[in-house]
């Protein structure tokens, strides 16, 4: 996996989009990809995409679950072992509510507010399944949220593959 140049936010969103394409298209979820980057060393720490791991898993959830396994800690303690300046690139705004009963991705990110400094988002979540308040929630705890424009149409096409199209 080629690492984009530092500050090339669009290239990191494109990388996350390539991951999203690995997710199986279903009518009941969005296909999302994410990339977690140490902004000091410019290393990709982990990636994730929707349904990468068993269960009804979201991209961010998969990324954090894999990191927890890599570091040998519960996901709740990741902030103790991760570098202190991370950027999270996601194709779609992280969810603030899960109909499956799983912890929303925004709660997982907020738990890492001391180390995740910025979340870069390709598109806001469409109001199809739930109303999303993730952007505001992340900003309220000091996480900067930045829209990275230019790929919205492609992201939404990938995200909604498998959904019934309105006639």
**Of 2, 46, 52, 60, which one is the catalytic site residue?**
60
How far is it, in rounded angstroms, from Cα 55 to Cα 112? 23
Of residues 145 and 124, the one with the higher pLDDT is: 145
At 10, phi and psi to the nearest 5?
Answer: -65, -40
**Residue-level pLDDT at 28:** 86
- List the domain boundaries for the chain: 9-159
The mean per-residue pLDDT over the stretch 124-149 comes to: 84
- The pLDDT score that the predictor gives to residue 167 is 43
Answer whether residue 130 shows pLDDT above 60: no
Q: What is the pLDDT of residue 99?
A: 73
- pLDDT value, residue 101: 74
Q: Going edge to edge, which strands form the sheet with 86-92?
A: 43-49, 33-38, 86-92, 116-123, 144-147
Distance from C-alpha of 31 to C-alpha of 14, rounded to nearest angstrom: 14
pTM (predicted TM-score): 0.94
Contacts of 90 (CB under 8 A, 6+ apart): 16, 32, 33, 34, 59, 60, 119, 120, 121, 122
Tokens found for residue 112: 């890492």
State how far the Cα of 86 lies from the Cα of 88, in Å rounded to an integer: 7
For the chain, percent of residues with pLDDT exceeding 70: 95
* pLDDT tens digits, one per residue of 93-119: 999 887 777 899 999 999 999 999 999
pLDDT at 126: 72
| pLDDT reading at 158 higher than 60 | yes
93 is catalytic: no
User: In CATH, what number does 9-159 get?
Assistant: 3.40.140.10
């Amino acid at each position: 996996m080629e690492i984009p140049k530092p500050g090339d936010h669009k290239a990191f969103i494109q990388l996350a989009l390539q991951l999203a394409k690995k997710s199986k298209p279903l009518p009941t979820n969005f296909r999302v990809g994410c990339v977690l980057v140490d902004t000091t060393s410019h290393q990709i720490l982990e990636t994730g995409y929707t349904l990468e791991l068993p269960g009804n898993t979201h991209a961010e959830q998969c990324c954090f679950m894999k990191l927890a396994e890599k570091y040998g800690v519960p996901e709740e303690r990741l902030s103790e072992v991760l570098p202190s300046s991370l950027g999270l690139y996601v194709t779609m705004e992280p969810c603030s509510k899960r109909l499956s009963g799983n912890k929303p991705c925004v709660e997982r990110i907020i738990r890492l507010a001391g180390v995740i400094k910025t979340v870069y988002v390709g598109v806001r979540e469409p109001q199809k399944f739930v109303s999303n308040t993730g952007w505001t929630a992340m900003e309220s705890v000091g996480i900067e949220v930045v829209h990275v424009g230019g790929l919205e149409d492609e992201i939404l096409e990938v995200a909604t593959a498998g959904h019934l199209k309105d006639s």
